[in-house]
Structure 1
Amino acid sequence: MNYQVNGQRSVEYTVRHRGTDARGSRRYFTIASVPTERNILLTTHMVASGSSFKRALRKLPIGGAVSAGQVAGDFVLPADRAQKLGFIAGGVGMTPFRSMVQWLLDTRQQRDIVLVYAAHCEADLAFRDVFMAAAAQMNMRVVYVLSGASPPDWRGETGRIRTSLLQQAVPDFVERLWYVSGPELMVARPRQVLRELGVARRQIRRDYFPGFGG
């Protein structure tokens, strides 16, 4: 599979199954891997009460067949390596950032990045090893935010992404090109917060997952 290495690309996958519900047998998945890796990596959230597609995906055996459509999407890094960047990930919205960050690590690039990663609980935080490596190797700053219960030894932020949090965690927020990714509602609120802080619309790029949950 060919796809651009400096950012997010999505692929439409088809899992054919019986008892298809109203949403059908096709879904778009963001590619979380990079071409330097051997396998294509996708991420999703599985729940027992999910759609017929998710149930079929859960039951798919190793070696099972799926159909993949065209690679598409333009949620990619800017060509200007000096541009300061801000990433806001809501839940599974960390997927494109995993791809971007892993590619930067593999190509040994240095970029000024702050990642604000919001999830319900600590167990929901994925790819922390990749983000820790980026913090060590390219000084990427990572701010974790839990909206649910946090453990007693939690050192990150709690609550929702809000103006006071971004002002404190990212003082130079106006200078950054922002990428916001996640379920639709988890993209709308951070975007509103950025606008309230005076970040121009042209400085905010979005990648949201409509109808997320199945």
Structure 2
Amino acid sequence: MTMHTTRLLARDLVAEGTLAFHFERPPGFEFKPGQAMDVVLGADQTSTQPEVRHTFSIVSAPFQNELIVATRMRDSAFKRALGALPIGSALTLDGPFGSLGLHKAAARAGIFIAGGIGITPFMSMLRQAAHLQTPQDLLLLYSNHRPEDAAFLGELRQLETLNPRFHMNATMTQMGRSSQAWAGHTGPIDSGFVQRAMQGLPTPIFYIAGPPAMVEAMRPVLAGAGVDEDDVRSEEFFGY
């Protein structure tokens, strides 16, 4: 991997308890949608200590001029330090890496299944697809506890209008704890949900990202929906 020096440009709230961090894109930093990078704080660029280095999926798309990551702001030494970093501060990026990329066969649909902040690698893919207007059917099944927890929900709705080949089916599983209205689905992503959502999509390939327990739980769900395991792709999720 390659080390790059960058600066923190901005941070913004993208869901309750979830921040997006915007970094200056270093010259020569090329990546593919779905890839990840390490963010390194402090002077020791070779450190592998968790309070200094953390891996994040890249939220921004290759056509964009900045690099963006998003994360739940859990109480860890690294995230406390990152959250307190003054705008304009220098830091190091190590990467990119990872191979969770969208397949090239445009005749086959892509179905993304995201749990919570697992949406991050798919944001890069969906932004790029809308920018290029790729002739490929894309579907996102997006599960959160509440609308307040759903990162990038507003932007995903905008991407539906920008890309006629993309659609989103979002579900909220704990609406009893929400103060917002929600007219969509309110149950878990089960086999019936998947079967209904995939109707009419040509020979789809599935991609899963989210908490490890969620990723494992989705495999029997997809099997129950008649999905061949060879058509399911996942990768250790980066970004917690």
Q: Deviations over 1:131-168 (max 9, x none)?
A: 22332232322111112125674221113211121122
TM-score normalized by the length of structure 2? 0.77
State the Cα distance separating 1:35 from its structure 2 match: 2.5
Select the residue among 175, 181, 184 that pairs with 2:212.
Answer: 184
Please identify, of 86-95 and 179-188, the stretch whose mean Cα deviation from structure 2 is larger: 179-188
Alpha carbons 2:111, 2:139 under 8 Å: kept: yes
Alpha carbons 2:41, 2:92 under 8 Å: kept: yes
Give the corresponding residue for 2:169. 143
Select the residue among 116, 133, 155 that pairs with 2:141.
Answer: 116
Gaps of 5+ in 2: 1-25, 44-48
Paired residue type of 1:107? L
Give the corresponding residue for 1:93. 118
Q: Tell me: CA distance 1:173–1:190, structure 2 relative to 1, closer, same or farther (3 Å).
A: farther
Equivalent-residue separation in structure 2 for 1:186 and 1:174 (angstroms): 25
Paired residue type of 1:204? V
Q: Deviations over 1:22-57 (max 9, x none)?
A: 74421110001013212111110113xx11111111
- 1:8 matched to 2:34? The reply is yes
Give the corresponding residue for 1:132. 157
Alpha carbons 1:180, 1:191 under 8 Å: kept: no
Equivalent-residue separation in structure 2 for 1:45 and 1:184 (angstroms): 15
Q: Tell me: CA distance 1:152–1:100, structure 2 relative to 1, closer, same or farther (3 Å).
A: closer
Gaps of 5+ in 1: none
Secondary structure, aligned partner of 1:106? helix
Q: Deviations over 1:165-196 (max 9, x none)?
A: 11222235792100111121121112221123
Alpha carbons 1:93, 1:181 under 8 Å: kept: yes
Give the corresponding residue for 1:28. 55
Count of equivalent residues: 206
State the Cα distance separating 1:16 from its structure 2 match: 3.2
Give the corresponding residue for 2:93. 68
Secondary structure, aligned partner of 1:99? helix
Q: Deviations over 1:109-146 (max 9, x none)?
A: 13111110011110122223432233223232211111
Please identify, of 30-39 and 150-159, the stretch whose mean Cα deviation from structure 2 is larger: 150-159
Q: Which aligned segments of 4 or more residues in structure 1 are displaced greater than 3 angstroms?
A: 150-153
Alpha carbons 1:87, 1:179 under 8 Å: kept: yes
TM-score normalized by the length of structure 1? 0.86
Alpha carbons 1:174, 1:199 under 8 Å: kept: no
Alpha carbons 1:34, 1:103 under 8 Å: kept: yes
